[in-house]
Homo-oligomer: A and B are copies of this chain.
Amino acid sequence: MGRPRTPLLDRERIATTALEIVDERGDFSVPQVAKRLGAQTGSVYHHVDGRDGIVELLRERVAAAIDPATLDLRPWDTALEAWARSYRAAFAAHPKAIPLLMTSPVRAPRVLEQYERAVTLLLDAGFAPADVMPLITALENLVLGSALDLAAPETMWELTASAPTPRLAEALSAATEGRADRAFEVGLTGLMNHAREVRAGTGRGQGAGGGPVAP
């Protein structure tokens, strides 16, 4: 039997290869992708809309691991929290892709569709339109910061006798295992509680209420 005739290039293979490179180096170039596929750079451009097109393929690939059923859960806060957990797990598998994806505009249709669903969840739950994107973005900041933290060593602070830090040592020895997970739970609890307050119109620091006003 001869080798099956697979096309040298297609969008799936380009996405897989670009993600491999990003997982290794935190960034990629189109010539790097072409070289690894044994193709000419120009041939890659026949399949994707430039480098930005490949970034959006990466975004779709990484975001595909987010469980879409989370946004169907009800009530809204159960859905939002489950989405945040799934979102974190998806990006924790590709921590080096996080800065690239966080700093490029979102154009991938399947990812825009996921934002549409998250926004619909919050609008239908009664959030004011002006509160929706700040809340979703704050959740993403926490989720993606925490996904990067999952790639950090479990022992993140290496104390030395030359710089005495007894209180830090005390706090570290009191912390239980699962450093990154514990911190994520604290941040998520705080954000979800605040989201419930914002929806109820009692959020401290929101609008004209009595709380501290952000500068």
| A binding-site residues for B, Cβ under 8 Å | 25-27, 95-96, 98-99, 102-107, 109, 112-113, 115-116, 119-120, 122-123, 128-130, 132-135, 137-146, 148-149, 151-153, 155-160, 162-163, 165-168, 170-176, 179-180, 182-191, 193-195, 197-198, 203-206, 211-212, 214
Contact = CB atoms under 8 A, between A and B. Distances in A.
A144 B149 CA distance: 10
A91 to B, nearest CB: 11
A72 to B, nearest CB: 15
Contacts of A159: 112
Given A165-B116, A167-B123, A185-B205, A141 B149 contact: yes
- Oligomer: number of copies: 2
Contacts of A170: 119, 123, 129
A211 B189 CA distance: 10
A197 B140 CA distance: 23
Contacts of A129: 170-171, 173-174
A173 to B, nearest CB: 8
20 contacts: A95-B103, A96-B99, A102-B145, A102-B148, A102-B149, A105-B155, A106-B157, A116-B166, A116-B168, A119-B167, A129-B174, A130-B176, A133-B171, A134-B175, A134-B182, A138-B186, A141-B149, A145-B146, A189-B194, A191-B191
